[in-house]
Amino acid sequence: MPLFDEFKKFAMRGNVVDLAVGVIIGASFTGIVTSLVNDIIMPPVGLALGGVDFSNFFVVLKGAPAETLAAAKAAKDVTLNYGLFVNAVINFLIVAFVLFMVIRQMNKLVAPKAEEPAPAAPPEDILLLREIRDSLRK
């Protein structure tokens, strides 16, 4: 029973629960970002590059040349899918940027604002000169 109690204490710690929530949200977020890249970003980029579909950029390493990646996979050819890699890199960059923005905002909310330091007292010679000036005015 002590092992179970120790495991329960470990699993219910705030950091472990927060990590589990983060992993689940991250997995869901990955689906959204994948759809964003494949369905929203890449079609205009491909259109701007002359109707190019990055997911169909591949090189057949072994087998007969094919028109599409799906056809090459159906023929069980060995392919190097560099277009899918480009999509994955774009996915990563979007996720990294969004996480950067979220963490940046969280740091702004959590971090206490630094108070401006009080101005340093002027040196003694400046104070003396001010006294002389004030005396001359009188």
Write phi, then psi, for 79 (nearest 5 degrees).
-125, 155
DSSP 75: T
Give me the tens of pLDDT residue by residue for the chain, a chain 138 residues long.
688 888 777 767 767 777 777 888 888 877 887 788 778 887 887 788 787 777 788 888 898 888 888 888 888 899 988 988 887 888 788 878 877 887 788 778 876 666 777 788 888 998 899 999 999 998
Q: How far apart are CA 92 and CA 102, in angstroms?
A: 15
**pTM of the complete model:** 0.53
DSSP 3-state of 110: helix
Domains of the chain: 2-113 (1.10.1200.120)
Residues 6+ apart with CB under 8 A from 59: 79, 80, 82
Residues 6+ apart with CB under 8 A from 34: 91
